[in-house]
Structure 1
Amino acid sequence: MRTPGGAALFALLCLLSSLPASAAELLMFRQAACPWCAAWDRAIGPIYAKTAIGKRAPIRELDIGDQARSGTTLASRIIYTPTFVLAEGGREIGRIEGYPGEDFFWGRLDALTRRLP
């Protein structure tokens, strides 16, 4: 005997089992009046979410003072801004300290995302 909604429940369970166990995210630690953060905002900010990396690891911006509330186990304390931390499942995979330009950022981020499962 079938119960009402059984097919929908089965479809939902199939969908959930196909999703990754934990999602990757890119944490951007910043502070007010950071000129390198502003440079990143102008060059990368408008396009990041549209890229393949941006879709795989959406960005979440945090103040440098919010490290303890980030929900991520950091490998060490964040000292410089911007610092970008690639995290998955609440733990740091790697980081990029500073922002000296687009080529540096994309190259380093590409290398970090290769560490993701």
Structure 2
Amino acid sequence: MKRMFAVLAALMLPIAAAATELVMVEQPGCVWCARWDAEIAPAYPKTAEGRFAPLRRVDLRAIPDDLTLDRRVRFTPTFLLVDDGRELARIEGYPGADFFWPLLGDMLATHAGYAAPGN
């Protein structure tokens, strides 16, 4: 029985990897990344947006090969909405909490079919 669950869990891994993600491209010393970490990061995984598009962090100088980007990332932070590793949209820079949430919601709705709870 345990083996069957292990096999089922292993089969589900590729499905989870193909899910919609919000990729945060960052680099050491980025003050705007630190500001995002202070203002948004603690709440993000607890939000509907965070559950719909879990956060994945990558370093600007080590962007993984499993991501297919529309163009090179030049600024940190840059937030990439990806599905199955392919970029759908991006937010370049961190505009502050008052602007980040609406920009993220619009990006998720327009490019990933997200509907905010209650809408």
Residue 117 of structure 2 is matched in structure 1 by none
Q: 1:82 and 1:70, CA in 2 relative to 1: closer, same or farther beyond 3 A?
A: farther
What letter is aligned with 2:20?
A
Question: Residue 74 of structure 1: which of 69, 74, 93 is its match?
Answer: 69
Name the SS for the 1:81 alignment partner.
coil
Report if aligned partners of 1:62, 1:70 keep a CA contact under 8 Å in 2: no
Report if aligned partners of 1:87, 1:93 keep a CA contact under 8 Å in 2: yes
Instruction: Tell me the matched-pair count.
Output: 103
Aligned residues: CA RMSD:
2.2
Residue 103 of structure 1 is matched in structure 2 by 98
Using the alignment, how far apart are the partners of 1:44 and 1:37 within structure 2? 10
Query: Shift of the alpha carbon at 1:116?
Result: 0.7
Establish whether residue 93 from structure 1 lines up as the match of residue 88 from structure 2.
Answer: yes
Report if aligned partners of 1:28, 1:85 keep a CA contact under 8 Å in 2: yes
Gaps of 5+ in 2: 114-119
Question: Residue 45 of structure 1: which of 38, 41, 52 is its match?
Answer: 41
Residue 33 of structure 1 is matched in structure 2 by 29
Using the alignment, how far apart are the partners of 1:65 and 1:30 within structure 2? 9
**Considering only CA atoms, is the larger Rg found in Structure 1 or Structure 2?**
1
Q: TM-score when scaled to structure 1?
A: 0.79
Percent identity among equivalent residues? 46
Q: 1:112 and 1:70, CA in 2 relative to 1: closer, same or farther beyond 3 A?
A: farther
What letter is aligned with 1:23?
A
Query: Shift of the alpha carbon at 1:88?
Result: 0.4
Query: Shift of the alpha carbon at 1:20?
Result: 8.6
Gaps of 5+ in 1: none
Name the SS for the 2:74 alignment partner.
coil
What letter is aligned with 2:83?
E
What letter is aligned with 1:50?
K
